[in-house]
Each structure stands twice: as structure tokens, then as C-alpha cells.
Structure 1
Amino acid sequence: MGNQGCVDGQLNNANYSSPMPVIGLYIAAATLVCLLLMISDILSGFRNRRTWIPCKLFSLNAITLTLLSIATKLPVDLTTSMPRAEDQLSKLTGTTLVCVCLGFLMPSIGANSSSECFSNIVAMAILVITIVVNICIQMHTGVIFSFHPEHIIIMCCMMILLLVLWVFAPVSNAHKDMSIDYIKRSFTNGRQSMLQRLKLCYLYCYNTNPQFMLCNNLTCASSCALCLLCSAVLLQATYRSMVSKTMDFCGGDSDYKKSMKLIVVTQIITVLAGTLGTIFRVLTMARHVQVSDPRTINKEAKCAETVILHNPGQMHLGCAGAFGSIFRGLASIILFLIDTLMIVPYVILVRLLGMRRKASAEDDKAVTEFKDLINEGEMGLDEWTLRKAVKEMKRKVVKTKGQTSSHLMNLLSKTPPSQDLSFAHQLKNHYDSARPGYEVSPLTIVLLIRVTSISIPLPLCGSLLSSLTEVFDIIHFIDRKTCSPSIENKNKSKFAKALWGRDEFNTLLPKIIDKSKVETFKMLSPLDQATEIIRGVRKALPSDYVWDELDLITDFIQHQAFGSIEELYGFVEQLFVDLLIGFLIELPNAIFKEIVESQPEDVEDRVTFSMKTISKLEKLEKLVQWSFPDGATVTNLITDESSTTNDVSSTIQKLESNVTDSNTKVPPLVGESSDIAPTTTQDEIIEIE
């Protein structure tokens, strides 16, 4: 081993460059992964009718930063000789790749938490500054001897895009804090159905989606112009060096050899794909975005600073003091110049040519019931946004209604719940007398149906199996959100999901019925057979949570008197309906808790899930008296300010006063007076929970 490094006292470096072609393939592979992630986001945006291309897979996170650091190895390579045209071009393609990626993933800063956003932006800044410094060194030492003007243009664009990231990160976090409050307050209209409230929440979620808000900002739209400029610079450099060959290069070969062409091709394609994604954003948003004055960035940054000053966890994203004023001023000037020179002419031209799509009569009809949401202000919906949100909401609701719980609805229409859910209360009383404190859970329902399926003929109990299949995920969600968080309840919830996912009860019959007694068993009446199976099913299972629950259920059934198998099935069916309704009436409470406990960047997904769930059970609203938070004081609960949101509340009040000072007053929500409803104290919230 020593002889390979040192021969006759001299360093033997003959094999140092031998791995370079393989490293070139590694660079090309990292670039290809970036390309695939970009294309996935673009296709996903079109599939979900969000042509402003939100970033899901290719976003500002550790994976993306790692891929970019690998893909940009060539621009930071200070010593490897690059004599050929493709070698010199590879430096430019790597630099342009980072610049376009910055523009493409810019909206994703709204999808991260504050601390994660800060760490990712710092990592991106380190990468960008490293590339800029290394490119400058190579231009000075002669490693890069071509495309000097192109490198300077792209490095300037890269630094501007990095500046935009730093400016809009705190602004995005401030908007997220405000939007979560508005979405919670959407529940305050107690006269509306649960589905209607969730629709209202969804419209505000769509409008206040952090990525949508960033894409709808004129300055962020400037990233498209910069990406387009960088792509144009790269394409003209590629044409001059590889097609027309009007430039002079050196002879020889680089250490990367044939892998260099693969690197250049994959990076050019990736740059074009990223630029295409940003173009789709501008084509979608720029015709509807409001053209703001040059002080917009300064105002937004000041609003963000107000949030940061009242939330020390975000202090690192702030720009306070004299340095902050200089930074905001510089950002305002640079970004306003970009807007004025690149984006505003496009917006004006499109509007003069009348290219803004006219709303159809069908569109107007669809948004009629939500017209009151069209208002001016920080969180108001403009007509175009409202129309798009209603369209998407309608599509999701219609898709969910195609999966309606038909078996459950048929069962409930045939067997409505008993008076005051008496069967369910009898079971609870039986539980309390046998084991005080033991709670009815989804495991109770699952075991009831599983025992019924092996003891009662399938033609009778088939509707129960189908009904529970349609609604099990919902009652499991309700139990997970509303039951006490004890270890026992968590274990019962896990057992319920496992038992419902695996149909193992049918294998228990041979253990229940002894082989020597099969003929005798067949001679029994259907009722006696069912009773025998119910009595023996406990012996076939080990002693655990399932056995304890099964013991209580089977004991409760055996305490009843039945004259026929039909009477037994009727009893089980009514018990199942009562238990099911007892869970479903808690669905609004579970949804409320799901939304309130979610992070701002996750609210839209939670509201969408809740809206789909309610849409699936919409017909139940006539049968189920929904149970809202205690005393039906939804307004008080929605506007609560717990220890985690007190700072946000005071911040929002200051933000609203700031916005009022700048003539952008925040409007009240639909059905809401100008005064915010009184809030509960922290002690009251804890008591309610």
C-alpha cells in the first residue's frame, strides 16, 4: 500500500484521477433525480388543477440540498483542468442549475416550520456563496476561461433569488400565523351545517395556503423572469460553443472524460424543466396578482418583524435594527426594479389584450353562496381565487360522494337508532357493573361484528359487515381524537385496527366446536348454534385485551332472551347502530381537535380530510345530532388563546393595526360582526379538554 503512494521518495499520483469518470456519472445521477422530482411536482400540479405548481417532492429540505451539493461539484472544483467546450460549459450549467432550482422551490419556504425554514435557507445560502466564491476564484486563476459574462449574469440572478428567500421567509411565517386564526374563526357561524362550515374553512385554507400566497406575490413571480433569463443565457452559450462552434477552446481531455457530456445534457434538461415550472406559475398567477407599489416589501417585512418580536423562536429570521432597515430598503429597490422591468409589462399587456378569462354562468352560479367572501383586505378572497377554490372543493366533494356509504345508509334507514341510544347505554351499564371505568371503544364494535359474522348466517349479518367496512376508519379516527389518552385505550385502538384488518375469526370454529360433537351441533336450531358459538368463542382466544373485551360482550348478549335467530340478529343490529351513532355524534369534536392541533402548514390537508369525511356522511346530518364542543360554544373555543397561541393573538392584533395604518383593513368573516368574539381563558380551555 505504501508503494502506491510513494515510489523512490516521489509521490505517485498516476491513479488520482482514475475515479473521475465514475464521479461524473454520480453527478449526472444526482441531477437526474432533481429532474424527476421537478417533473413529478409539475405533473402533480396539473393533475390536481394547481398549475401554480406547489412544491411537494422538490422543496427546500435536506434531501434537495444534498442532491444540489452533489450536482454542483463541477462549479466548486478549483483545480481540475477543463479544456474542451463541454468542460467549460459544465461550469455554467452547474451554476445555472442552482439558480433555477432556487426559483422553482421558492414557494416551498411556506410549507416549512420557522426553525426548519431558517436552517434550510442558511444551508442554501452557504451553498450559493460557496459556488459564487469558487467561480470567482476559477475565473481569476484561469480554470474558467470562457463564458465570463454569462457567469456574472447568472451569479447576480442567484444572489437576488437568495435575497428573495431571506425576505419572504419571515413574511410567509407571519401570514401562516394569521391564516390559522382565520380558519379557526370560520367555525363561528353556528347556524350552518358542519359540511358548510368546513367548506368555508376550505376556501380560506386555499386562499391562505402558504405556497399559494407566495406564488400570488408579484415579487416572487419575478423568480420566473430571472430563471428565464438564466436559461436564455445558458442556451445561447450552448449554441455558440456546441452548435455554431464560434468559440475557441483548448485541446486535450478533462479527468471526467466521456461522463462530461452526460452531465451537461442532464443539467441543461433539468434547467429547462425548472424554468418551465416557474413559467406555468406566472401564466397562472400573474394575470390575477395585484400590482403593488415599491413600498410593499418594506411593509410586509415590518409586519413579519412584528410577529418575530413577539415570538422569540422566529427571531433568527428577523431583520431588526439599523441593519434590518438597510436590508429591507435594498431588497425593496432591487425587487421593485425586477418587477417593473420584467413582470409588470407582462401583466399590463395581458390585461390590455383582454386575455383574462371571462367567468361563465356556471362558474358564477357555483360561487353565488360564497360571494360575501369577496372583499378587500389582507385575508379576503378575490373573485378569481374564490372561483378556483370553489371548483377544487366541488371536485373533491363530488369525488367523495361517489364513495358514499350506501350500505350504512340503507342500514340506518331500516334500523334507526333507539330512543336515547338505550341499547348502547345498557351495554355501558353492563361494562360499569362488571369492570368499573372500562370504556366502550371501536374494539367493542369490531368484536361484536366479528362474533356475529361466525355465529349468525351471512345472509343476515352481511349488511353489518359492509356497513362497518364503510365507516370503520371514521370511528377509529373519532376514538383516536376523543378518547382519554391512556395506555389501555391506545392498546384497544391498535387491537381494533388489527382485528378488522385481518379476518381470523373464521378460523376459530374448529376450536370452538369439538370434532366429536359436530353431528350433534348440526342437529341444533340456528339460535342454539349461535348461542353455542358465542359461549365458546372466548375459550379459543388467549387472555389479553381482546379476551377481556370479548368476555364482556358475549356475557352481555347471553343475558338477553331470544326466541329465534332473527331476534338475536335484530338485537345485535340495534346494538351496533346505537354504538355507531354514539361514536358518530362526536365527529365534529374530533374534527375540531384535528384542525386546532395541526400546524399552520398542515391545516389545508386536515380540513380537506375532514370535508371529505363529512361529505361521505352528509345524509347522516338528518339522523345524527352532532355534538359540538361543550355548551355548543363553538365561537368561544375557536377563538381560544391557549399558552401556545397567546403570543400569536397579540401579534395578529398588532398586525391588523399595522395593516389598517397602511389602508389595508382586515375584513370580518362571513356572518361575523366587526368585534371578535370573547375568548376563553387558558384554565377554561384545559377544563373543557
Structure 2
Amino acid sequence: MSYYQLADSPLALGNENMGDNNDSPMPIIGVYVAAASLACSFAMFLNSCLTFINSFPKFNLRFSRNFFPLNATWLTLLAVATKPVADLTTPKLSYQDNQAKIMNTVFLTVAMGNFFTSLGSMNNADIVTNLTALSILVITVVVDLYIQLRFHVFDTPSSLVIIIQIALLFSTWITIVSSALAVPAIKKRAESKYQKLASDERQMKAGQQHYRVEELRLSITKYWVMAASGSPQLLMKRLVTFVYTNIICLFSALIAFLALFSYGMVNDYNSIYIQIHSEYKWSVDLILLSQYYVTLPTVVIATIFMISVVGYKYENNGIRISREEVTIESYWTEKLVEWRQRSIPIKFKRCTLRKLIHSIKSLILNFCILIQIVNVMWCKFCSVISFYLVLPLLLLVNPLGKLINHYLGQLFRKKKVSEVDLNCFVILLEGEKQFPKKLLRGIINRVDKLVEMGKKQRPHNLFNLLNQSFSFGGVVQFDSNRVPSLLSGEPLNCWTLPVVTLTSIAIAIPNIASRHVDWLVSSANEGLRYASLIDVLDGKCGLKSSIKNAADVVWVGVELHRKWLDMDLKRKTGEISSVKDIIQDLTNVSERIVMEFSSKENRMIVENPLYWPANVLAANSMYRITRTILLYYEDGECQGEELFRMLICMIADILAACLTNLPHMIYTKCISNAIEERLKSVRAAAIIFGETEDILKIFEERKLSNVGPSQPLCIDEWRGWIEQQAALVSSSATSNGASSVESNEHVVIKMQA
């Protein structure tokens, strides 16, 4: 009796039913595999969508990231998703099993293609670690597939497809390893070119203490072009190996689709293998669905990418292939040559043994260099072939693209700066003649979109608050030298803590309309965001970190709950009717907090403000400011509305003095970052510029940018400078007699401008 006759017998049917009734873990495992596959597919789909949208310069995203990077998390999920390909226990596969193993191989190939750009954002240690893990996974899959081919587990049509997919998978892995070897040299060259361009730009700005608004915007655009063209992700996308991985992913996905549809056309296959059931049972369909899900976007995105690459080459050289297209750049073999020339870290007593090991190492690395050269040459050859294959498609699509750009360009494109003027700020790879004009135009349009995005988030309340500043006098007035210190040491000042304390006092004043209090809190919150960024730029940032932390801790309670260190400010208002009594109560509470700290803590900690906790630093600030207010009103009654207006003016003065550093802060964000974080930092600078452009223009019109000390980042420097100006005015008034009032008014007007 044949196998198929036995399968139709009642005995076989009974056995089959018994097998179905038995509890099997395989469907549950299949669901687990499908869930891991779906997570990977969704991440790759987001990457594909991001790549697709970024291919249109007119659009701008609020985020730019890699959703599927090469790391331990995604490698673990990928290992789970490719479990069916490693199953070696089934002697004969069902139709779904054949498809699942083919899709596993395609899935791993596509996943490695998505991993490619994340190589640029990793350091050397991460590259070695992650590539080692990826290599173990790929080699395991290849070996398992070879064993199954060796023992004829696959059907005949599937065997041919699996052999092709193994070749494509292995080629992708070799290409990724080859590209990873070139990453350090590529980043080193890009960083060197960036530092040269940035140094030339800084030399042009040397001696310039203040920046005009338009000059600052142009500087942001220049640094954006440098950061974008030299970003690790874009550098990786411009490598010929990236083009090759896209070709492989496209070819692999197309073969999977052809295999899927061709098997349905084979009658013999349907009549024989359709009767064999998968051990994963119904869950195998979930696995296939979750992995087929990622192949269609892969085909679409890879096709779009190939058309865009061919378009850039056609734009630069026409149908001719330049010599650089077939030249091996030095960065491909630089790391291998460096390893070959490096001495052996292990020391041997015998010189002969050292020579032998060094010769073996050189021989192995020479072989690796040869493989690297051959692989890059093969990638370049495939790139050239793909250029001529895709060129007819480009010539058909190009007129349609120009027509779309013609109609949409007026709506989305707003070119601020000519890309011709910024060509010298583009960071080119070795072997690149010029940067594609469309890509450069897209980069410039992107920074314009970021500025426009910032303009939609303007701090309107802060802008209105700054209009309440009549001078910078509040920088000195909030803390009087006549107030004695509670402890032997006094902490340094920063911009944020005085603003937080003054706002807390303003909230505690009775009989103030809630809308005015809410407006002040909102205005201070907008100002504190920029003040905290400027505080970080202070040279004494390390010494003031605890003070900044105290301001952050206190502000959470003030903004959200109208509480200062768990003290309900509005409740205190209801208990005490007099404004002066409220200020005195805040003084007493803050003094008690500081004195309790001094009585309980170690003397060395008490004498060093660096070690004071956040509540003590906040209490010390509250004590000094409230005592200063009480000194101001010591001979008269304190009126609530008058004090509220005075506090608003102080806060406005402090924030106005602080925000004169905005151009310096924006410029610093553009220049002081590592290559992996540079694009993100310049992006933040462009958005902040858009948010604060109106404030910067007001400062420029009033000439406030030219007012202040030589070290304007520090509030203590401002206090010293204002006191010095007041002393000069006082001495001038003494010498000129009757003209003293006029001189004093002149200084105030100059500061207000």
C-alpha cells in the first residue's frame, strides 16, 4: 500500500484525528514566531515609510530616526522570527512549511538590508559586537538550510529557490561586513572635512561677539548642510554597497513572489504536497502573513531608491559612467591595512615564532583585503548594470516627476538660500565629484521647514512678558547685599532659580486674578526652557548643576500644583490676609528649612553649597529674595498689585538679560557635537531659532545684543556689570551736579533701547 493510499485508509484517518486531538506546543510556538515577525515587519515598514517620505524634499518630518537598528533587541526578535528555517526534525515538509522557510530566508535578507544604515551611528565596539551576533545568526541559518538541502527535505521547486536565496543572503551578509570595515575610515574623513569647514566658518566669525538675525539663520543653514551631508546615515546611503543591498533585497523579494504564485500553478505539487500538514498547523499561516507583509514595501522602496540613484547619476554624468564609478577608494581597505601593519599583542620569547604568526596574520589579512576589493568591484559592477537597466524607467518617470514638481513646488518649496552658494559646505565622500543638486535643494528646504515649524510654536506669553522689561535692573534688585547669609557659604547664582522663586512669591500674593497668575506661570515656563539651556553653556556649569536641579524640582510643584516645596501657596493666602505677613511667613519657613539642615548635617557638607540638597538651595533662594522684598517695604505698606507688577518686572528683566545669550546658544548647538548627534543638535537649533526669531529681532532693534558684560552667560557677571554701571553713573552724577538725573535716565534708556 502506497503512502497516499495509506493516508486515505480509516486507520490513517484515525491516527490523524488522534494527532489533532493531542495537545501540541507547535501552534503556540508558531504564534510566538508570528508575533516576533510582526514586530520586526512593523519596524521595517516604518523605516520604509520614513525613507519614502524623506525622498520628497518638500515634506518634513518631526522625527528622523531608525526604527530597526542593528542591536541586541532586534537581533533577538529576528532569531525568533527565523525559527522555522532552523527546524530539522520534519522529514517531509508541507506546502506552507516550504513557503515559510523561503520567507524566513527572504525576511532575514530584507532585515539585513534595513540594518545597513544603522552601522554609521555605531562606534567601533558596537559594530564588532553586533556584527558578531548577526554573523552567528546568518551562519546558523545557512548551515541549517544546507543540511535540509543535503537530506532532500525540500521539494524540487523549493530547493532551487532556497539555493538562490542562500546565495543572496550570504552576499548581503558579506556586503554588510565589508561596509562595516569601511565605516571608521569614512567617519574619520567626514569628521576631518567637517572640522575644516567649521574652522573656516569660525575664522570668518572671529571677533564677532553678536550675530544679526539673518546672519544667524544663514549660519544655521550652513551647519545644517554640513551636518546633513556628513551625517553617518546619509554617508552610508551614498555607498555603492548600499545600492547593492537594495538590489539584492529587491531581487530576493521578487523571487519570493514568483515562487508563491508559481507553486499554485503546478498541479502535481498541489496534488501531492498539499496533503501534508504542517506541524505548526494553523499558526503557519500567521507566520507567512507576518513575513509576507514586509516584502511589498521592500519592493516599492527599493525600486524608488534605485530610480533616485539612477536619477542623480544621470543628472551629473548623463548616460556616461565616470571613472570614479569603477575606482576602489582607499577607505574600503584602510582598516584592514591598519590591522595588517599592527604588531601582535601577544609576546613570544622566540623571534621565529613571532615571525611565523605575523606572516600568517599578514597572509590572512591580505586575503581579506583581496576579498574586500573583489566584493566592492562586484558591487560597483552590479551598480553600473542596474543603472542601464533602470535608465529607461527613469526616462519614462522623469517627465511625470517634473510635472508633479511644477504644480507642488509653489505650495511647498520656499527657497531661502541659493544652493549654489552652499555647495562649498557639502561634505563629499572620497570619489564623489559633486553632490546631487536635488538632494542639496532638499536639505536646504528641510532646514527652512524646521524654522517654519519653530515659528508655529512661538512663545507668545514670553514675548509679552519681555515687553514688561524696562531695564536690566531686576537682575540686581531681586537679591540685596544687605541681606545676611544664613550659613557661612553662599551658592552661586544661575538664571533659572531666581525666576522660579520670584514666580512662587507672585503666586502667593492675594487678590490677584487667576488669569494673571496663569499667564505669569505660562510665561515663566516658556522662559525657563531657554534659560536652562543657557545655564548649561556657563563655564561653571558643573558647579551650578545642583542649583539648576533645585530649580527644576521646585518648578514642577509650582507649575502643576501651585506648591513651593509642598507648601500650598494659595492656602497660605487664605490664612494670612496681609501681603507683608505672607512674605514674612515665606521668609520664616525658608529660614527654618535652612537652619534645620545646618543643625543635622555634617559641618563639611553645610559649609560647601555644592553638597546642599535641592530643598535647602531653594529655601536659601526664597529666604534671600523675600528678605530683599521686606527691606524694600520696611518703611511702608506692601500693596499686592504693586508687588505683583514689581515681581513681573524683575522676572522680565532677568529673562531679558538671560535671553541676550540666545544667538550664542543657538550657534553653540550647531558646532559642538559628535558626528552621530550633530544633525539632531542642528535640527534643535533651527527649531529654537524659529521659535525665538521675533525675540531676537526685538533685541536687535533695541540694540540689546550689544549691552551687557563680556561674559554674559553668567548672571553673577551681569550683576557685577550693572553695579559697575551704576557706580559710573553715580560718580558722573556727583561730578556734574544738576545733570545727575539726566545721566541716570540716559543709562536706563540705553539698556531698554
**What is the TM-score with the length of structure 1 in the denominator?**
0.77
Which SS does the other structure have where 1:204 is aligned?
A: helix
Out of 135, 147, 150, the position equivalent to 2:145 is 135
Q: Is the contact made by 1:298 and 1:329 (CA closer than 8 Å) also made in structure 2?
A: no
Out of 86, 101, 126, the position equivalent to 2:111 is 101
CA distance in 1, matches of 2:363, 2:402: 40
Unmatched 5+ stretches in structure 1: 1-12, 313-317, 522-528, 633-689
Q: Is the contact made by 1:60 and 1:105 (CA closer than 8 Å) also made in structure 2?
A: yes
* Map 1:501-512 → 2, pairs under 5 A: 501-505=559-563, 508-509=568-569, 512=572
Residue 89 of structure 1 corresponds to 99
* Map 1:238-253 → 2, pairs under 5 A: 238-247=260-269, 249-250=272-273, 251-253=275-277
Letter in 1 for 2:584: R
Q: Is the contact made by 1:586 and 1:628 (CA closer than 8 Å) also made in structure 2?
A: no
Are positions 1:30 and 2:36 aligned together? yes
* 1:437 to partner: Cα distance: 4.1
Q: Is the contact made by 2:477 and 2:650 (CA closer than 8 Å) also made in structure 1?
A: no
Residue 169 of structure 2 corresponds to 158
Out of 354, 362, 385, the position equivalent to 1:341 is 385
CA distance in 2, matches of 1:110, 1:493: 38
Q: Is the contact made by 1:92 and 1:234 (CA closer than 8 Å) also made in structure 2?
A: yes
Sequence identity percentage: 20
Please, which moves more after superposition, 130-139 or 503-512? 503-512
Out of 523, 526, 529, the position equivalent to 1:470 is 526
CA distance in 2, matches of 1:214, 1:510: 58
Relative distance call for 1:453 and 1:195 in structure 2 (3 A) is farther
Relative distance call for 1:427 and 1:433 in structure 2 (3 A) is farther
Are positions 1:489 and 2:547 aligned together? yes
CA distance in 2, matches of 1:64, 1:319: 35
Superposed CA offset, 1:434-481 (max 9, x none): 354432341221120121122162366555333213222221222244
CA distance in 2, matches of 1:629, 1:73: 67
CA distance in 2, matches of 1:576, 1:311: 61
Out of 411, 414, 438, the position equivalent to 1:384 is 438
Out of 21, 25, 34, the position equivalent to 2:27 is 21
Relative distance call for 1:309 and 1:391 in structure 2 (3 A) is farther
Letter in 1 for 2:42: L
CA distance in 2, matches of 1:84, 1:423: 81
* 1:37 to partner: Cα distance: 1.2
Please, which moves more after superposition, 56-65 or 192-201? 192-201
* 1:307 to partner: Cα distance: 9.0
Residue 223 of structure 1 corresponds to 245
Q: Is the contact made by 1:224 and 1:275 (CA closer than 8 Å) also made in structure 2?
A: no
* 1:69 to partner: Cα distance: 0.5
* 1:551 to partner: Cα distance: 0.6
CA distance in 2, matches of 1:352, 1:468: 57
Are positions 1:404 and 2:458 aligned together? yes
Which SS does the other structure have where 2:89 is aligned?
A: coil
Residue 291 of structure 2 corresponds to 267
Are positions 1:552 and 2:552 aligned together? no
Letter in 1 for 2:460: S
* 1:99 to partner: Cα distance: 1.0
Which SS does the other structure have where 1:247 is aligned?
A: helix
Please, which moves more after superposition, 252-261 or 19-28? 252-261
Relative distance call for 1:497 and 1:50 in structure 2 (3 A) is farther
Letter in 1 for 2:382: I
Unmatched 5+ stretches in structure 2: 1-18, 344-361, 594-614, 713-753
Residue 235 of structure 1 corresponds to 257
Residue 83 of structure 2 corresponds to 73
Letter in 2 for 1:399: M
Please, which moves more after superposition, 268-277 or 500-509? 500-509
Which SS does the other structure have where 2:67 is aligned?
A: coil
Residue 473 of structure 2 corresponds to 422
Residue 330 of structure 2 corresponds to 299
Superposed CA offset, 1:637-671 (max 9, x none): xxxxxxxxxxxxxxxxxxxxxxxxxxxxxxxxxxx
Relative distance call for 1:466 and 1:491 in structure 2 (3 A) is closer
CA distance in 2, matches of 1:119, 1:470: 43
Residue 167 of structure 1 corresponds to 178
Q: Is the contact made by 1:587 and 1:626 (CA closer than 8 Å) also made in structure 2?
A: no
Relative distance call for 1:196 and 1:333 in structure 2 (3 A) is closer
Superposed CA offset, 1:405-456 (max 9, x none): 222223323434x2xx333134466399635443234122112012112216
* 1:296 to partner: Cα distance: 4.0
Letter in 1 for 2:623: D
Residue 682 of structure 1 corresponds to none
Which SS does the other structure have where 1:600 is aligned?
A: coil
Residue 600 of structure 2 corresponds to none
Superposed CA offset, 1:39-98 (max 9, x none): 222334456666899762112121221111011111122222343211222211111111
Q: Is the contact made by 1:476 and 1:493 (CA closer than 8 Å) also made in structure 2?
A: no
Letter in 1 for 2:164: I
Q: Is the contact made by 2:82 and 2:104 (CA closer than 8 Å) also made in structure 1?
A: yes
Are positions 1:443 and 2:506 aligned together? no
* 1:609 to partner: Cα distance: 0.9
Please, which moves more after superposition, 48-57 or 474-483? 48-57
* Map 1:168-183 → 2, pairs under 5 A: 168-180=179-191
Relative distance call for 1:212 and 1:262 in structure 2 (3 A) is same
Letter in 1 for 2:428: E
**Structure ID, larger Rg:** 2
CA distance in 2, matches of 1:309, 1:555: 72
Residue 692 of structure 2 corresponds to 617
* 1:308 to partner: Cα distance: 8.5
Are positions 1:602 and 2:662 aligned together? no
CA distance in 1, matches of 2:181, 2:189: 13
Are positions 1:41 and 2:47 aligned together? yes
Relative distance call for 1:134 and 1:97 in structure 2 (3 A) is same
